[in-house]
């Protein structure tokens, strides 16, 4: 089965998924606290169910509460999302996507950032 596609998520669904990735797992009340939005407990609960139906979450029951966790590890979901964005907006060209990201950076890259990028490039050239 192919992984769920993050591109089909609303802004609120992405916020909830991010909260669950940060928590590793949790129920609606933990997600609401993480989002600093405890007034939205009921809508978060409904959205968790929707995300489960879409295949992004699974749950187990503990007493009267459901504990949710993402079905795909964050790193894999990130790669899937970036692959989709690269295909959609950059004609499948990773270099165009990377150069755009570097160009739109609101701040200069740190020396550590530049060293990390240079080390990755050097490693790729050797392989």
pLDDT in tens, 34-92: 999 878 999 999 999 999 999 999 999 999 999 999 999 999 988 988 898 999 999 99
98 and 53 belong to one structural domain: no
- CA 60 centroid distance within chain: 21
Total Cβ atoms within 10 A of residue 30: 17
Residue 70's beta-bridge partner residues?
A: 57
Is the predicted pLDDT of residue 7 greater than 80, yes or no? Answer: no
Range of the domain at 43: 6-70
Q: Is the pTM of this model over 0.75?
A: no
Q: What is the DSSP letter of 108?
A: P
98 and 66 belong to one structural domain: no
Report the pLDDT value the prediction gives residue 68, as an integer from 0 to 100: 98
61 and 19 belong to one structural domain: yes
60 and 17 belong to one structural domain: yes
């Amino acid at each position: 089965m192919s992984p769920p596609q993050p591109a089909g998520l609303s802004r609120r669904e992405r916020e909830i998924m991010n909260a669950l990735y940060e928590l590793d797992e949790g129920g609606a009340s933990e997600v609401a606290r993480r989002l600093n939005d405890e007034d939205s407990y009921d809508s978060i609960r409904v959205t968790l169910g929707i995300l489960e139906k879409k295949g992004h979450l699974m749950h187990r029951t503990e007493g009267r509460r459901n504990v949710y966790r993402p079905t795909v590890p964050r790193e894999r979901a990130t790669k899937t999302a970036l692959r989709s964005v690269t295909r959609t907006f950059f004609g499948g060209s990773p270099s165009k996507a990377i150069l755009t990201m570097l160009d739109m950076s609101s701040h200069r890259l740190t020396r550590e950032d530049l060293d990390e990028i240079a080390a990755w490039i050097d490693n790729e050239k050797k392989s």
